[in-house]
Amino acid sequence: MSTPGGASRDDTAVRDLQAAAYTIRADAPEADGTLAWDSTTVVIVTVRACDFVGLGWTYGPPACARFVVDELAPTVRGRDALDVGGAFDAMVKAVRNAGRPGVAGYAISAVDVALWDLKARLLQLPLHRLLGAVRDRVPVYGSGGFTTYDDTQLREQLSHWVHEQRIPRVKIKIGESWGRRPGRDAYRMRLARHVIGPAAELFVDANGGYTRKQAIRVMRDAADLAIVWFEEPVSSDDLDGLRQVRDAVDADVTAGEYGSDIVYFRRMCQAGAVDCLQADASRCGGITEWLRVAAIAAAHCLEISAHCAPHLHAHVAAATPNLRHLEWFHDHVRIESIAFDGMLNPAGGNVRPHPDLPGHGLAARFADLAQFRCG
C-alpha cells in the first residue's frame, strides 16, 4: 500500500531525529514589563523518514535540544511518521517523571511540529490542507514596542507596520519595571496612538506587571486611546484578577501564552478570565495540542490567538475556525528570517500559507545558522 506521495507505509517509520540550539543576538536591547533580554535561542528539530525531512522548532533554553535527543528521540524513533497523534501521546507519557511544563513541554512541541511537517511532506500536501484549512489567509498583528525602545525606535517600528506594510493592528509593551513607571506607560501608549492614527487598532501587553487595581486605573486613564486588547494585565496565574480586570475595562483581556496542556486552558476558560484565549504551539505541545486548546476555547464561545513564532503557527491558524489572529512578533520574525527560507509576507495585515508547497513550506538554513550554534 502506498501513500499519495509514493512512499510505502512500511517505509514511513521515523529513522532519525536530531535537535540543535542556536542563540541569536537581538538587533537592539529588548524588554517588556517584567523581563529584559539581548538574545533569543531557537531550538530546531529535524525528523527523517524515507527521503523526507520534517522541520520543527521552539524558543527555549539550549537544554531543550538535549532533552529532544536524550529523552524523546528513543520514544519517537521507529514509530510510523503518519501516526503523529500516537507519537504525541507517547512523548507526553514518557516525560511523566521529568514534568511536562517548561523544557520537556517545549521539546515535545518542537518534535510534534516536525512530525506534522514530515507527515504533510510524505503525503505531498501543504500542512494547512492536511489539517483541514478553513481560510487561505491568516490575520496578523505587529508585535514589539519594547519598553527599552526610545521614541524614535517606537515610531519607526509602528510606522513600518501600519503605514508601509499596512498591518491594521499593532501591540506595544507596557507595565514597565513591574508597573513602577505608569507615567511612561501612559506616554508611550499616547505616542503609539499618535503614530498609527485613529483607524489602526492598538493593543498593549503588560506581561503580568500590574496589580489588579493598577491595571484598571491604567485603562481608565487611557480610555480616549481606544485600546482594544489588554494582554496579561496581571499574572496569568491570577485567574480571579484577570476576571476582575476583564469585568472593569472595555479592552478585551487575554492570556494563556504560558499554558502547557489543555487542563491549564480549561481552567482559564472556566474562570471567565479572558475574552480571547492565547496559546503557543511552541510551548503547549505543538500542533496536536494547539488544536485541542482551540476546541476548548470554542466550547467556551471564545476565539483563540496564536502567541509568537508566526511561521510555526501560520498553517494551524489557517485550520482553526475560531482563530482571531496571529502575533507577528518582531524578535521571532527576525530569527525565522535568518533561520529559514520560505518566509511569509504580512502586507495588508494577513499572511497566506503557500498553497502548493508540501508541509509548512520552510527549509532550514543550517549553513547560515552554524555561527550561532550552542555547544
What string of pLDDT tens digits covers the 375 residues of the chain?
A: 344 444 445 589 999 999 999 999 999 999 999 999 999 999 999 999 999 999 999 999 999 999 999 999 999 999 999 999 999 999 999 999 999 999 999 999 999 999 999 999 999 999 999 999 999 999 999 999 999 999 999 999 999 999 999 999 999 999 999 999 999 999 999 999 999 999 999 999 999 999 999 999 999 999 999 999 999 999 999 999 999 999 999 999 999 999 999 999 999 999 999 999 999 999 999 999 999 999 999 999 999 999 999 999 999 999 999 999 999 999 999 999 999 999 999 999 999 999 999 999 999 999 999 999 997
For the chain, the farthest-separated pair of C-alpha atoms sits apart, in whole angstroms, at 67
Residue 73 gets which letter from DSSP?
A: H
CATH of domain 129-364: 3.20.20.120
> What are the angstrom distances between the C-alpha of 144 and each of 37, 76, 203, 236?
13, 36, 11, 20
Domain 13-125+366-374 superfamily per CATH:
Enolase-like, N-terminal domain (3.30.390.10)
What does the radius of gyration of the chain's CA atoms come to, in whole angstroms? 20
- Residue 275 in grid coordinates: 475574552
Of the candidates 242, 266, 244, the one whose C-alpha atom is nearest the C-alpha of residue 254 is 242
Q: What is the DSSP string of 261-324?
A: SHHHHHHHHHTT--SEEEE-TTTTTHHHHHHHHHHHHHHTT-EEEE-S-HHHHHHHHHT-TTEE
- Domain residue spans of the chain: 13-125+366-374, 129-364
Hey, what's the cell of 124?
505531498
Which of 185, 244, 240 lies closest to 209 in space, CA to CA? Answer: 185
Query: What cell was used for 155?
Result: 515610531
